[in-house]
Chain A
Amino acid sequence: MSGDGGGRGNNGGKGGGGGNGVLRRVLRNPLGLVSAVVLALIVLAVLFAPLLSPQGPNVASLRDSFGGPTGGHPLGFDSAGRDMVARLLYGGRNTLGGALLALVVALVIGVPSGLLAGYRGGRFDAAASWVVNLVMALPAMVVLLASRAILGPTVWVLMVVLGVLISPSFFRLVRGVVAGVRGELYVDAARVAGLSDARIVARHVLIVVRAPIIIQTALVAGIAIGLQAGLEFLGVGSGSTPTWGAMLNEAFGNIQRAPTMIVWPGLALGLTSASLVLLASALRDALEDRGAPAARRKARRGGSGLVSSELASPELVSPGLVSSEPAPSESVLSESAPSEPAPSGPVSGEVGERAELLSVRGLRVAYDLADGTVKEVVHGVDIDVRAGEIVGLVGESGSGKTQTAFSVLGILPEGGRVAGGSVTVAGTEIVGLDERAHRALRGTVVAYVPQEPMSNLDPSFTIGTQLTEPMRYKLKISRAEARKRALDLLRQVEITDPERVFASYPHQISGGMAQRVLIAGAMSCDPDLLIADEPTTALDVLVQAEVLGLLRRLQRERGMGVLLVTHNLGVVADVCDRVAVMHDGRIVETGTAEQILHAPEEPYTRRLLGAVLDRAPARGAWKGETA
């Protein structure tokens, strides 16, 4: 799973820059489509201004001023008796051209320097960052006005200066992303493979920063257009060059005489800005959909929250290497993989006699997709867990095992819901149970150990806080009591220096340690049922064994029932009493661990066994494989 997960993440990242897929996604989004069409129309109209406008933008006849629409002049005339259509079209040329100029200046300054600073770091980074701080601290208005006084009052001068003033935003964006990526493994791998820096930057790094730059560009274009209009209003204008800002200002100066004159330039400006911001948001959504899981991973790993906060968008992110249980849409995709038809209907000898601790019958999980359709990902699953027993739920990535686990916990992701069936936990039916009552079960009756340790701890709080908070809430105990119990728990999960770990933040401890902390967290309110979702997958082989041992020990000591979700049949062999094999949203085979491992009945189970055995040796070193 991790292997193909990594591959997918990588592809997602590479394509994330704005390839055809993204374009198609943007255009499929109605707002994205509309804004793109509006922008395209505006740009075309402005480009073909000489063909479209009835006369030149400066042809004036004072006699016609403030005149309403006439035959050849559909929008009438402005205060100087110039044709409004011509002013709008030619004004658009200068307005959009000016914004383009500002953008080009900002990009030319900001992007290469950001790339270099982010990729090389060191002295250049320090120097560039200092200059950027300088530019950002410059009093923009003074600089604009002074440059205007020196270079002349034209819109082009203002836009070049504006470009320089906003270039830091590109620098910081690019530098942040690149610095984050620099440490990423595939860049390391490329370096090891002997690629030159230029090649690496071109092939790996540029691709990663492409998307955020495109979004930032759309936003900055809108800002440049708005600023230009604002400057015009302050009398810091474009001189005799027609621009939308100048038109707006002129209309404002005659608002008593001709109040409607403000409409056209206002509309042009508003439509353009709105289209730009909507396009940016459509782009963002398109990129987000596509790289979401990978994106999340990166933002977390890259460390500095600032990097992604530049635009506060998860898509600023590079491909991740590991994939968590994929999002529903992806699981849909990946499920097309199996070639053999899955057996229909439950294959289980357990229907009827329901276990006391956990009993699942005919569980169906469905997702409401964005296009209004419903996608069912779990098609009627039966499973039982009794007190004191460990049941393995085995299947490939995307088989629906995690969805099943989440249903029991009641923590299906957004859009997901239990579409049918019955789930009883310690005798309580949870399908249709109200959220509050369901919540009461979590922690104390049923607890959860997640797959990836680091991402499942809140980076902003200490381990101690995260351990004590649920205890204090669920068990209504004092802070001191909770602390004592937490330290105790840490000791129980074989952490040697509980005090230190208690006071640490998640980023200060190792992955194995974090997994122990999560197990301690799951144990903290003495649950009867533990749901462990791939609890060892993300860990080194040695640590895997330790954590499994720990789980087994705790389970025995406490007599818990455990539902162990895993794709790893080695883990099953180690700890499970019984096993349910899941494929394509259905349970295909259930039995004791021994039975399943040694005498599988289903061809699918056999295939699974074969695959695992082949890949087993590589498991510990998966990180290397993915590059």
Chain B
Amino acid sequence: MKKTISGVALAAACATALTGCAGGGAKAGGAGSTLSIATMTLPQSLDPADANGSALPFFQAVYDTLIKREPDGSYSPMLATEWKYSGDRTELKLTLRDGVKFDDGSPFDAAAVKANMERFGKKAGAQAKTLKDVKSITADDATHVTVKLAQPNPAMLYYLSDAAGLMANPKSFTKPGDPLKTKPDGTGPYELDSAKSAIGTKWVYTRAKNYWGSKLPYEGVTISYFDNETAIVNGVKTGQLNAALLQNADQQAGIESDPKVKTVKQEFDFQGMILFDRGGALVPALKDARVRQALNLAIDRATMLSKIRQGRGTATSQIFGAKSAGYVPELDTAYPHDPAKARDLLKQAGFASGFTLKLPRIQAIVPDALASSLQTDLNAIGVKLTWDDVDAGAVRRIFTDRAYPAMVMNLGQPDADWIGVGDYVLPGVFNMFGTSDDTLKSLLPKIQAAPDGTAKADLQALNRHLVEQAWFVPFYRMSYLHVSDGTVRVTPQSGMAVPALYNYAPAK
């Protein structure tokens, strides 16, 4: 025993002497230093066509978007300085910033916008669907672009501030082998340092020399990929990482106790059961709204939240997030825990003896505690829940084969209401059986065509209708924790789990 310990200690002493202080990997003290961010999201590549959701910061470092989305969700000029819809909201005119150049000197202009957006819509990228309403893109002159839409799309400005708005040098499009995948070519504030980067594990960005806009506070940014939060927590505690987002409640609790670590809470994803089979194709009982309501009443949200998420979040019965226009505060408590009433509803619907639900279970999303508490709660109203253990990879059965009537998922709650509506309400992957009804048919077109900020009432009506019809069984909004080693101030990005790259600044 002695021998081992002294051996280890000796090795320790040597290495410490050699490195001076091994603990401080990244120094993000003041301006002019490097920011080190941890992520659990891998970008598929650095080609804007592959940009998606939480991977956005990887792209924001090297590309600019047409429109900038501020932390509060409002839009401000970036590569486009002005934008204006036509009266029927099917035509969007963009005025572009003059004098912006790509690295090779070729100008960023209307032709570039046209080329980028057309390519984005055609490529098999995750966000390609966001431009599906775009009918044509016209370069009016070097700095003016007209985007014609087949139908109004309330989320179009959001998309142009997101993946679809990322502008790459069109010269790269025609080169063989799609070089953008590993050699991004944009007008962004940083450049990828290929020599220091190890794609797949570490992306090292250094400040672009002739950036057109105002400089970001850091000379360089390093984004490191981790496959578990334990490593991230240790990295932040030792200052090797400056900032990260923690989703796991226990990891959050673990890091909060560290006095140096600074934290900011944000609610973004909600967890709940998406009832796909509202038409009763697989489980006839689900066709009846009373049955779906019964499921909602059966769930003891408060206990689940306090035990499974250690109270980190807010119980809710609606899928609209607190920052969205359609959000109705009182709907959070629309379905209290009331098993008696639930049994009653089942009886009314003719399912007094209950029925069986067989749901897929991805262990990373549905931990033991959640799996068994749902079983217990539903069993209490006579619904037998069985879990089918599947791997994260086994998605074909769920989404293509439509083998399950419902699924427990963690889903985002975007601020831009139309995005949520598009994902969760319109026929599509999460409405895979294409359920609709008259109320929806009248509300949706109105919402779609409404000018910015005028659809609030209709959105809330939609929300109420969805809750009443119990399309979903939401459990709670989960609060995530932005953590930093104390040297960085992180501003959460409204409607996004991951902050934009612009939201990091040295702590005062």
A-side residues, CB < 8 A to B, are: 58, 60-63, 65-66, 78-82, 148-149, 152-154, 235, 237, 239-240, 246, 250, 253-257
Contact = CB atoms under 8 A, between A and B. Distances in A.
Interface in B290-339: 300, 303-304, 307-308, 310
Interface string B373-397: 1011000000000010111011000
Interface in B337-369: 361, 363-364, 367-369
Contacts of B364: 235
Contacts of B390: 153
A65 B391 contact: no
A153 B391 contact: yes
B389 A62 contact: no
B253 interface: yes
Contacts of A256: 250-251, 253-254, 257
Interface of B: 248-251, 253-254, 257, 300, 303-304, 307-308, 310, 361, 363-364, 367-373, 375-376, 387, 389-391, 393-394
B363 A239 contact: yes
Contacts of A250: 367-368
B393 A149 contact: yes
Nearest to A253: B250
15 contacts: A60-B375, A62-B369, A62-B372, A79-B367, A80-B368, A149-B391, A149-B393, A235-B363, A239-B363, A240-B371, A240-B389, A246-B368, A255-B250, A255-B254, A257-B310
Given A239-B363, A250-B368, A81 B373 contact: yes
B373 A60 contact: yes
Given A60-B376, A154-B389, 17 more contacts: A60-B373, A60-B375, A62-B300, A62-B372, A62-B373, A65-B307, A66-B307, A79-B307, A79-B308, A80-B367, A80-B369, A80-B372, A80-B373, A82-B368, A153-B391, A240-B368, A257-B310
B69 to A, nearest CB: 34
A254 B390 CA distance: 23
* Ranked 3 nearest A-B pairs via Cβ: A239-B389, A60-B372, A80-B369
A589 to B, nearest CB: 54
A78 B376 CA distance: 15
A256 B371 CA distance: 21
B393 A62 contact: no
A62 B363 contact: no
Nearest to A66: B307
A154 B363 CA distance: 12
Contact of A153 (B370, B373, B389): B389
B395 to A, nearest CB: 12
A81 B307 contact: yes
A211 to B, nearest CB: 31
A65 B369 contact: yes
B315 to A, nearest CB: 13
Contact of B304 (A61, A62, A152, A237): A62
A254 B250 contact: yes
B363 A58 contact: no
A246 B303 CA distance: 23
A237 B366 CA distance: 13
Contacts of B372: 58, 60, 62, 80-82
A80 B371 contact: yes
Contacts of A246: 368
Contacts of B368: 78-80, 82, 240, 246, 250
Contact of A257 (B253, B373, B376): B253
A240 B304 contact: no
Contacts of A257: 249-250, 253, 310
Contacts of A80: 367-373
A65 B311 CA distance: 13
A250 B389 CA distance: 16
Contact of A63 (B303, B361, B367): B303
A331 B1 CA distance: 38
Which of B371, B389, B390 gathers most chain A CB within 10 Å? Answer: B389
Contacts of A62: 300, 303-304, 307-308, 369, 372-373, 376
